Amino acid sequence: TTGSVKAGKAKGRKRKVSAYNRAFAKSFKRQKAKMTKKNGDWKKGCNSSKCMSSAHKETKKVMNR
């Protein structure tokens, strides 16, 4: 089975990470830190979808400077 596993994982070209993607990663990290408690749970009124949308909003703001 090892031969078939290696065949499936053929090394391809690494994709270039876009500027938006890099900026979004920073924004998401910042938003997640704001919206989570010390134990890792979401704060009241916060969830993953709100975190995502606010991170996208922040990224758009940063990119349009």
Q: How far is residue 9 from each of residues 1, 17, 51, measured CA to CA in Å? A: 13, 21, 33
Taking the C-alpha atoms of residue 19 and residue 26, their distance in angstroms, rounded to an integer, is 11
H-only helix segments in 12-47:
19-35
Does 25 map to a domain? Answer: yes
Does 4 map to a domain? Answer: no
Q: With a threshold of 0.85, does the pTM exceed it?
A: no
Residue range(s) defining the domain that contains residue 57? 17-34+45-65
Collapsing DSSP to helix, strand or coil, 28 comes out as helix
- Checking if the pLDDT of 7 tops 80, the result is no
H-only helix segments in 1-63:
2-8, 19-35, 48-63
Does 27 map to a domain? Answer: yes
Does 23 map to a domain? Answer: yes
How many domains does the chain contain in total? 1
Does 5 map to a domain? Answer: no
**Confidence band for 51, pLDDT divided at 50, 70 and 90:** very high
Does 10 map to a domain? Answer: no
Does 8 map to a domain? Answer: no
Average pLDDT over residues 11-21: 91
